[in-house]
Amino acid sequence: MSLKASHALVTGSSRGIGRGIALKLAEGGVKIAVHYYQNDAAAKQTLAMVRDRGSDGFIVQADVTQPEQIRRLFKEVQSQFETLDILVSNARPELAEFYRPPMDLTLEQWRKALDSQAQAFLLEAQMAALVMPDGGRIIAISYSPSGRTGSWQPWVAMGSAKAAMDSLVRYFAVALGKRRITVNAISPGATDDSVVSRLPTEIFSAIKAWHESGWTPMGRVGTPADVGNAVALLCMDEASFITGQTLHVDGGASIMDTVFPLDIQRG
Provide the whole-model pTM.
0.95
Q: For residue 15, what are the CA distances in angstroms to 118, 206, 256?
A: 21, 23, 30
Q: How far apart are CA 131 and CA 41, in angstroms?
A: 29
Residue range 160-198, pLDDT digits in tens: 999 999 999 999 999 999 999 999 999 999 898 887 777
Distance CA 61, CA 87 (A): 16
3-class DSSP state of 179: helix
Per-residue pLDDT of 1-59, as tens digits, reads 567 779 999 999 999 999 999 999 999 999 999 999 999 999 999 999 999 999 999 99
- Which domains occur in the chain, in start order? 7-251 (3.40.50.720)
For 71-122, the pLDDT digits (tens) are 999 999 999 999 999 999 999 998 889 999 999 999 999 999 999 999 999 9
Nearest 5°: CA angle at 162, between 189 and 140? 75
Q: Is 15 helix (H, G, I), strand (E, B) or coil?
A: coil
Tell me, what's the pLDDT at 86? 98
The predicted structure's pLDDT at residue 143: 93
- By three-state DSSP, how is residue 168 classified? helix
Percent of the chain at pLDDT exceeding 90: 80
